[in-house]
Amino acid sequence: MGLLSSTVSVTRYRVEGEIEAPVMETITAGLKKNAISEIDDEDSDKSVGWTSFETPFTPSFDGDSFVIGPYLVFSLRIDKKTIPSKIIKKHFSMEVAKRLAETGRDHLSKKEKQEIKDHVIQVLSLRIPATPNVYDLLWSVENGWVWMFSNQKAANEELETLFARSFKATLIRLFPYTIAELTADLSPEDRDVVAKLTPTRFME
Amino acid sequence: MLDVAVAYNRYKFLGFEFLTWLWYSIEENREVFKTVEPELTVLEIGNRLVLENRVQDALESITIKGDDAGLEEGLIALRKGAVVTEMNLICKFEDSEWRLTLKGESFDIAGLKTPESGPLETSEDIEGRLLEKVFLDEKAIELVDKLYRYFIRLRISNDWNETVVPRLRKWIYEKES
């Protein structure tokens, strides 16, 4: 469900920390440096990086291509190779049989089996293309917030990590406590009262 | 500020209480919405309400689904000590309708459906369409924030224990189910 879908899911963040001036240059550099890299011909099983909102499979952050009105609009892409366990099991069994035949032994050590399994996964990873998942992002630099158009926990966590690495600023998720603390315009005294709240019992 | 992960778990009850108060306000105290957002014409519970009750170590979950589903089971669950964890809401500004599901614990917004925006005719339209979509999304999200900000001020006031909680209890126990 992307930003322009008829139905969307939104996870909201507050940006904590100043983006180094000049801000747009810093952001552009962070996006380019951490753009998604293709892993289809590599043995990596996962790649996480930024990509373009309109062309998620050909990322480009030149000029102001990711600026729309007052917002920065781009996407997080997570490419992952998932090898079905039955395929791993089949190739692992074949390799073990081959090794036993070559060495004339009747069993392999735990360490040897693990080495074979790692090798099988590495070889299969080269042959299996990664499945891309794209999550749209909207960033209001002026107001210090980011919306991610997904509620998937794993994707949310990847975003938080990559954002900190790219822009040297922290994303704080907005949930009941942080909304009260950061965006409700409460006085320090009121925030102290919030901190001391305990659950209400509605039962008689 | 507290560590975010600690704060998330320690204060998730605020989200559950907010949704319980919202349900009560929709049924018994609609005037409050005029104070919070004068432009709002309708705020209703939509087609999904989820409650949870933790009894000792067991977690009981009650989900009420359907466009015209009665919420009596929810009230019975509240009497047993359940909390509202998720609520689908329908809101209208003039005649335009928004729908969304709000999760109390995380304030994640899911299934946000805004009024239709115009058709996309050319690629140049994307910018205008996107800005319109963000404007429409923001209207619903701002409403949630305004309601929550009103709630949190009420929650830390003396009114909460002196007036609101007794009224909520009366509603929970005396409303016909």
Give residue-wise pLDDT tens across range B143-160: 999 999 999 999 999 999
Matching residue, tokens 């490419």:
A79
Q: Among A6-15, A167-176, B115-124, B164-173, which is the least confidently predicted range?
A: B115-124
Q: Is the pLDDT of residue A1 over 80?
A: no
Contact of A73 with A137, CB cutoff 8 Å? yes
A151/B108 Cβ within 8 A? yes
Residues A134 and A71 in one domain: yes
B172/A178 Cβ within 8 A? no
Closest CA of chain A from B3, distance in Å: 10
Nearest to A9 among B14, B112, B172 (CB): B112
Residues A21 and A35 in one domain: yes
Q: Which residues contact A193 (CB under 8 A, 6 or more apart)?
A: B156
Nearest to B126 among A54, A174, A190 (CB): A54
pTM: predicted TM-score of the whole model, two decimal places: 0.90
- Answer yes or no: is A89 within a domain: yes
Q: Give the residue-averaged pLDDT of A47-75.
A: 94
Most A CBs within 10 A among B14, B28, B90, hence the mutation to make, goes to B14
Residue of A nearest to B19 (CA): A176
- Answer yes or no: is A99 within a domain: yes
pLDDT reported for residue B57: 81
Would an 8 Å CB–CB cutoff place A9 in contact with chain B?
Answer: yes
Residues A29 and A69 in one domain: yes
Residues A64 and A145 in one domain: yes
Residue A66, Cβ density class (10 Å: 0-12 exposed, 13-18 middle, ≥19 buried): buried
pLDDT reported for residue B132: 93
| Composition of chain B by helix, strand, coil, percent to 5 | 50, 25, 25
Q: How far is CA A114 from the centre of its chain?
A: 29
How many beta carbons lie within 10 A of that of residue B109, not counting itself?
22
Q: Is the pLDDT of residue A144 over 90?
A: yes
A200/B160 Cβ within 8 A? yes
Q: Is the pLDDT of residue A109 over 70?
A: yes
pLDDT reported for residue B71: 84
B105/A175 Cβ within 8 A? yes
Amino acid at residue number A177: Y
A194/B137 Cβ within 8 A? no
pLDDT reported for residue B55: 80
Matching residue, tokens 């440096």:
A33
Could you give the residue ranges of the DSSP H alpha helices within B37-164?
72-79, 125-155, 158-159
Most B CBs within 10 A among A71, A201, A202, hence the mutation to make, goes to A202
Q: Among A15-24, A34-43, B137-146, which is the least confidently predicted range?
A: A34-43
Residues A113 and A168 in one domain: no
- Answer yes or no: is A197 within a domain: no
Compute the count of residue pairs across chains A and B with CB atoms less than 8 Å apart: 130
Would an 8 Å CB–CB cutoff place A5 in contact with chain B?
Answer: no
- Answer yes or no: is A189 within a domain: no
Those residues of chain B that have pLDDT short of 50 are: none
- Answer yes or no: is A4 within a domain: no
A179/B145 Cβ within 8 A? yes
Residues A21 and A58 in one domain: yes
Contacts of B168 in chain A (CB under 8 A): 202
Tell me the β-bridge partners of A172.
Answer: A14
Closest CA of chain B from A135, distance in Å: 14
A3/B4 Cβ within 8 A? no
ipTM summary value: 0.91
Would an 8 Å CB–CB cutoff place A12 in contact with chain B?
Answer: yes
What the block records as the tokens of B136 is 């429409």
**Domain count within chain A:** 2
Most A CBs within 10 A among B28, B55, B134, B169, hence the mutation to make, goes to B134
Residues A19 and A116 in one domain: no
**d(Cα B116, Cα B113) in Å, to the nearest integer?**
9
B8/A177 Cβ within 8 A? yes
Residues A95 and A169 in one domain: no
- Answer yes or no: is A35 within a domain: yes
Q: Give the residue-averaged pLDDT of A112-128.
A: 91
Domain that includes residue A49, residue range: 11-82+128-173
Torsion of CA A31, B111, B28, B15, to 10 degrees: -40
Matching residue, tokens 């080495």:
A115
Q: Among A2-16, A21-35, B19-33, B65-79, which is the least confidently predicted range?
A: B65-79
B145/A202 Cβ within 8 A? no
Residues A62 and A146 in one domain: yes
A4/B79 Cβ within 8 A? no
Residues A105 and A43 in one domain: no
Nearest to A6 among B113, B145, B168 (CB): B113
- The DSSP output letter for B58 is E
- Answer yes or no: is A186 within a domain: no
Residues A75 and A168 in one domain: yes
pLDDT reported for residue B19: 98
pLDDT reported for residue A2: 87
Closest CA of chain A from B101, distance in Å: 9
Residues A71 and A20 in one domain: yes
- Answer yes or no: is A21 within a domain: yes
